[in-house]
Amino acid sequence: MDATTSMTPAQRLRSIFSGSVGNLVEWYDWYAYSAFAIYFAPHFFPKGDTTAQLLDTAAVFAVGFLMRPVGGWLMGLYADRHGRKAALMLSVLLMCAGSLLIAIAPGYERIGVAAPALLVFARLLQGLSVGGEYGTSATYLSEMAQSKHRGFWSSFQYVTLVMGQLLALALLVLLQRALLTEEQLHAWGWRIPFVVGALCAVTALWLRRGMQETESFAVARTRNEKQRGSLRVLMQHPREVLTVVGLTMGGTLSFYTFTTYPQKFLVNTGGFSKADATLISAASLFVFMLLQPLVGALSDRTGRRPILIAFGVLGTLFTYTILSGIAASRTVVDAFVWVMSGLLIVSGYTSINAVVKAELFPAHIRALGVGLPYALTVSLFGGTAEYIALWFKQIGHESWFYVYVTACVAASLCVYALMRDTKAHSRIDRDHDIPDTGEHA
Per-residue pLDDT tens digits for 372-389: 888 889 888 887 787 788
More confident residue, 76 or 337: 337
Residue 16 in this model has a pLDDT that exceeds 70: yes
DSSP secondary structure string for all residues of 180-209: --HHHHHHTGGGHHHHHHHHHHHHHHHHHH
CA 123 to chain centre: 16
Residue 435 in this model has a pLDDT that exceeds 50: no
Q: Give the pLDDT score at 53.
A: 47
d(CA 98, CA 118): 10
Q: Give the pLDDT score at 7.
A: 59
pLDDT band with cut points at 50, 70 and 90 for residue 274: confident
d(CA 145, CA 153): 6
User: Any residues with CB less than 8 A from the CB of 173 and at least 6 apart, and which?
Assistant: none
- Polymer length in residues for the chain: 441
Give the number of other Cβ atoms within 10 Å of residue 380's Cβ: 16
Radius of gyration of the chain (CA): 21
Query: Which of 206, 165, 179 is closest to 36 using CA atoms?
Result: 165
Residue 214 in this model has a pLDDT that exceeds 90: no
Residue 433 in this model has a pLDDT that exceeds 80: no
Q: How confident is the model over 186-211, as pLDDT tens digits?
A: 888 889 989 988 888 888 778 777 77
Q: Are 397 and 242 in contact (CB under 8 A)?
A: no
Residue 145 in this model has a pLDDT that exceeds 80: no
Q: Give the pLDDT score at 341.
A: 96
The CATH number that domain 9-418 falls under is: 1.20.1250.20
The whole-chain average pLDDT of the chain stands at 81
Which of 3-7, 83-87, 111-115, 331-335 is the most confident on average? 331-335
Q: Give the pLDDT score at 320.
A: 95
d(CA 17, CA 29): 18
Residue 80 in this model has a pLDDT that exceeds 90: no
Q: Give the pLDDT score at 434.
A: 44
Distances (CA, A) of 156 to 64, 352, 392: 23, 10, 34
Residue 143 in this model has a pLDDT that exceeds 90: no
Q: Are 80 and 139 in contact (CB under 8 A)?
A: no
DSSP secondary structure string for all residues of 245-291: HHHHHHHHHHHHHHHTSHHHHHHHTT---HHHHHHHHHHHHHHHHHH
pLDDT band with cut points at 50, 70 and 90 for residue 369: confident
Distances (CA, A) of 293 to 150, 243, 290, 315: 11, 24, 7, 20
The domain ranges of the chain are: 9-418
Q: Give the pLDDT score at 2.
A: 45
pLDDT (average), residues 25-43: 77
Q: Are 119 and 44 in contact (CB under 8 A)?
A: yes
Q: Give the pLDDT score at 78.
A: 82
